Amino acid sequence: MKKTVRTRIAPSPTGFLHLGTARTALFSWAYARHYGGEFVLRIEDTDVARSTQDSVDQILQAMRWLGLDYDEGPIYQMRRLERYNAVIAQMLEAGTAYRCYATPAELDEMREAQRARGEKTHYDRRWRPEPGKVLPPPPEGVAPAIRFANPVDGVVTWDDVVKGPISIANREIDDLIIVRPDGVPTYNFAVVVDDWDMNITHVFRGDEHVNNTPWQINIFHALGAPLPQFGHVPVILGDDGQKLSKRRGAVSVTAYEEGGYLPEAMLNYLARLGWSHGDEELFSRRQLVEWFDGEHLSRSPAQWDPAKLSWVNAHYIKQADNDRLAALVVQQLARRGIEATADEPMLRRVALFKDRCATTVELADWVAMYFSEPQPSEADAAQLTDAIKPALQALADALAALPAWDKASISAALKQTLQAHGLKMPQLAMPVRVAVCGRAQTPSVDAVLELFTQAIVVDRLRKL
Ligand code: GLU
């Protein structure tokens, strides 16, 4: 019988959900869903000093926003210490792990001497029990670290789902510390026990972990545990060719949520960073799951491209329901201290502007003009010349006299004013926009005016 595919994402809660981790989560999730498997969320919180609840909350919120639903979890490593201790006890017993009493000062001295001899620094296995070797008695008052007794020869080999076959000679690998002197297990050990206990069949993770995998494979073997398949996903590079980082702009999923991106756009865009399905650029969550079979994962780094993300987001904004966009715009306006509701006029405003917006922040920029006094730039304000003011006042009167406030009536009032003053449409429409909207460029002026109240439009024109 074939094993159920089980994947996981295992973020460390030491900050927000990084885009790179979100992409790995997305791949792991899509892979599990494609094969009808299960996806697990594990919180790797063994770095006690740097892990925070706030970070856990942000990670959970970002996963929810992206729609990466998990079948198990969140499972916290710090709640599994008993289990790790039990495994350590077995390993000490079996001789696949041992206590090392070397102090940091002694280890420094050891490395110093190795450097002086021109050797690559490594742990010299001084506390590793070996046949015929007599170990000194454990020193008083030194809490030992526990090290993994890595095989001394042979080669570790695996067929990476992304990178293909990889081999590392064991002689290149030190006896790794698996429990620190304070009793907390280290990443490379806890991750193996967890992936084993949680029956993980496929481990997708960032490239930066590829050097850890040989240790982990050796620990799996030492525990007699079945190996998962590993897939190491290349890094994401910023515009400057450097690894995407905080210094080079927003790297948290939450920042993109706040920046007015839609989760389906983010999901679509992230999926294309290091994976492809033919030439497809725009696809739904359902299509992604249908196509994501573990093939066509790129071996080379992906390039973060804000312009493409904007393009993808603009596509989804155009497609989104007005109700949903109105609710998002209301949230964006609230951030600016503007109180609004997703009422009928709001729905119509959203419908009018959404085609020209790449984000809901841009959409809120448009809609904000309905809630604040116009503040035209100096250049725009220059259009409000003394020569045009009589026409604007005549238009105000014509608009004030309208029995119905709709696009057709507004348009008729505009035409009537044009004729009476011998003007062409742009000569009147531009200053009207500046006076009422505070900007010279908008969609068709009658459509924009219609979504203000009659009183506000008349008032803004008369005030000039
Ligand atoms: N906690 C590790 C990280 O966030 C997990 C790596 C892994 O998936 O094994 O990088």
Residue 317 and residue 356 in contact, taking contact as beta carbons nearer than 8 Å: no
Please tell me if the CB atom of residue 231 comes closer than 6 angstroms to any atom of ligand 1: no
Among 8, 12, 160, 235, the mutation site with the greatest number of ligand 1 atoms within 8 A of its Cβ is 12
By C-alpha distance, which of 278, 309, 302, 304 is closest to 291? 278
Cβ 6 under 6 angstroms from ligand 1: no
Biggest CA–CA distance in the chain, Å, is: 111
From atom 4 of ligand 1, which residue's Cα is the shortest distance away? 11
Task: Measure 168 CA to ligand 1 centroid, in angstroms.
Answer: 21
Q: How far is the CA of 24 from the centre of ligand 1 (A)?
A: 10
Amino acid at site 62: A
DSSP β-bridge partners for residue 252: 18
CA of residue 11 to ligand 1 center, whole Å: 6
> What is the pLDDT, as a whole number, of residue 340?
97
At 1, list the tokens: 């019988």
Ligand 1 pocket check for 12: Cβ under 6 Å: yes
Query: Relative to the CA of 205, which ligand 1 atom is closest?
Result: 8
Cα distance between residue 328 and residue 346, in whole Å: 11
Three-class secondary structure assignment of 326-368:
HHHHHHHHHHCCCCCCCCHHHHHHHHHHHHHCCCHHHHHHHHH
Q: Which of 51, 191, 213 is the pocket-test mutation for ligand 1 (most atoms within 8 Å of CB)?
A: 191
Could you read off the pLDDT tens digit of each residue along the chain, which spans 464 residues?
A: 678 999 999 999 999 999 999 999 999 999 999 999 999 999 999 999 999 999 999 999 999 999 999 999 999 999 999 999 999 999 999 999 999 999 999 999 999 999 999 999 999 999 999 999 999 999 999 999 999 999 999 999 999 999 999 999 999 999 999 999 999 999 999 999 999 999 999 999 999 999 999 999 999 999 999 999 999 999 999 888 888 876 666 689 999 999 999 999 999 999 999 999 999 999 999 999 999 999 999 999 999 999 999 999 999 999 999 999 999 999 999 999 999 999 999 999 999 999 999 999 999 999 999 999 999 999 999 999 999 999 999 999 999 999 999 999 999 999 999 999 999 999 999 999 999 999 999 999 999 999 999 999 999 999 98
C-beta of 213 in contact with ligand 1 (< 6 A): no
Active-site residue flag, 246: yes
Q: Is 75 in the pocket of ligand 1 (CB under 6 A)?
A: no
CA 448 to chain CA centroid, nearest Å:
36
Question: Locate tokens 């992206």: which residue?
Answer: 66
How does strand 97-100 pair with strand 72-76?
A: unpaired
Q: How far is the CA of 25 from the centre of ligand 1 (A)?
A: 11
CA of 12 to the centre of ligand 1 (A): 7
Q: What pLDDT, on a 0 to 100 scale, did the predictor assign at position 247? A: 64
Q: How far is CA 203 from CA 97, 213, 217, 294, in A?
A: 24, 10, 12, 12
Crossing angle of helices 263-271/306-319, nearest 10°? 140
Across 351-388, b (16+ Cβ under 10 Å) vs e yields ebbbeebbbbbbbbbbbbbbeeebebeeebeebbeeeb
* Closest ligand 1 atom to Cα of 209: 6
Residues facing 157 on adjacent strands:
167
CATH topology of domain 378-462: Arc Repressor Mutant, subunit A (1.10.10)
Nearest CA to 20 out of 254, 233, 308 is that of 233
Domain boundaries, the chain: 320-370, 378-462
**pLDDT at residue 376, rounded to an integer:** 96
Ligand 1 pocket test target in 44, 160, 217 with most atoms within 8 Å of CB = 44
Find out whether the beta carbon of 44 lies less than 6 Å from any atom of ligand 1. yes
Q: How many residues in the chain?
A: 464
**Ligand 1 mean position to 205 CA, how many Å?**
7
The per-residue pLDDT for 245 is: 75
Residue type, 419: Q
Backbone φ and ψ for 337, nearest 5 degrees, come out as 80, 15
Taking the C-alpha atoms of residue 429 and residue 409, their distance in angstroms, rounded to an integer, is: 15
Q: Ligand 1 centre from 206 Cα, in Å?
A: 8
Cα–Cα distance for residue pair 172/168, rounded to 1 Å: 7
Q: Which of 452, 370, 421, 388 is nearest to 413 (CA)?
A: 421
Whole-angstrom Cα distance, residue 273 to residue 275? 6
Whether ligand 1 lies within 6 angstroms of the CB of 11 is answered as yes
Tokens of 348: 């119509």
Ligand 1 site-directed mutation target among 187, 202, 220, most atoms within 8 Å of CB: 187
Q: Would you tell me which CATH number, out of the four given (3.30.230, 1.10.8, 1.10.10, 1.25.40), belongs to the domain 320-370?
A: 1.10.8
pTM, two decimal places: 0.93
Nearest C-alpha neighbor of 399 from the set 459, 446, 453, 454:
454
SS3 303: strand
Burial class (CB in 10 A: 0-12, 13-18, 19+), 223: middle
**Ligand 1 centroid from CA 331, angstroms:** 33
pLDDT for 2 equals: 74
Check pocket membership of 248 for ligand 1, CB cut-off 6 A: no
Distance of CA 74 to the CA centre of its chain: 18
- Rounded Cα–Cα distance for residues 350 and 333 (Å): 13
Helix, strand or coil, per DSSP, at residue 204: strand
Which residue's CA lies nearest to atom 3 of ligand 1? 11
Residues forming a β-bridge with 185: 179
Q: Which of 2, 243, 246, 424 is catalytic?
A: 246
C-alpha to C-alpha distance for 423 and 417, rounded to whole angstroms: 8
